[in-house]
Amino acid sequence: MSTQDLFQSDTPEPARDGPHAPLAERLRPRTLADVVGQTHLLGPGKPLRLAFDSGKLHSMILWGPPGVGKTTLARLTAQAFGADFIAISAVLSGVKDIREAVERARMNQGIGRATILFVDEVHRFNKSQQDAFLPHVESGLFTFIGATTENPSFEVVGALLSRAQVYVLKSLTPDELGQLMQRALKELPDLKLGEGVDKLLAAYADGDARKLLNLLEQLDTAARTAKVEEVETPPSSKTRWRSRCAASTRAARPSTTRFPRCTKACAAATPTPRSTGWCACSTAAPTRATSAAA
């Protein structure tokens, strides 16, 4: 299988293009080239890219926070290798669903088709449920892909860990969220964002692509309902944002703060008040030093 096949696909997915499909689903990547972020895994010469280039499936566990593309990568893997994609959720499924997936995988094996069993929130399965995968992963009946937000070293049984490669997915950076926002705005042509709104939304999303897209969709609905031509950042939000940044700066550099009411008695009782930025005689918030001599 060539890299060209992996990064380009002509397979139509009309369900995603429906008028009632959520924005996050409409913008779900259809090829690896569409994926935003995870360059440490999908970039040239990186682990997952090499796995795709090799043309050979292997079991894996995708560990990362919500909204970083775990389910998307699993679906793209099945699409790239032409495998039957069976998805179950550990929250809603049990051993019965695992058995049904096994039977379906055996039918696929009979016609020479590979099967990928994707288990979302795999850490929610107990030990016996996780053990049910072992003989089938070992025999190669299906390729196992698990997704988890918890450390698999503590939440996944060791026998399953030994049969699957763990890949760590990272939260999206502000720049990557910005790329995703530009794509989303093309799907929402009536939504106009004022100065600073994009940065505020990216900060609120906190690296979660799904949260960002849901925010944009809700904002678009609210703006159209209220007949607002351009969404602007409220002055109160700007003030809170500046205050939060200032507080973070003070916390990161305590040596640049001082208490103006610090007395000599307090200085004697507190050995190094200036180096820590705290003194025993005041409960007021620290203020920035006005000079090097302060």
Give the pLDDT confidence score for residue 267 in this predicted structure.
44
Tokens 């699957």: give the residue.
164
Query: CA–CA separation, 139 vs 94, rounded Å?
Result: 21
Give the pLDDT confidence score for residue 51 in this predicted structure.
86
Give the pLDDT confidence score for residue 19 in this predicted structure.
60
Question: Could you state, in order of their start, the residue ranges of all structural domains in the chain?
Answer: 3-168, 173-264
Give the pLDDT confidence score for residue 20 in this predicted structure.
76
CATH architecture of 3-168: 3-Layer(aba) Sandwich (3.40)
What parts of the chain have a pLDDT lower than 70? Answer: 1-19, 236-294
- Bridge-based pairing state of the strands 60-63 and 84-89: unpaired
Give the pLDDT confidence score for residue 237 in this predicted structure.
55
Topology of domain 173-264, CATH: Helicase, Ruva Protein; domain 3 (1.10.8)
Give the pLDDT confidence score for residue 85 in this predicted structure.
96
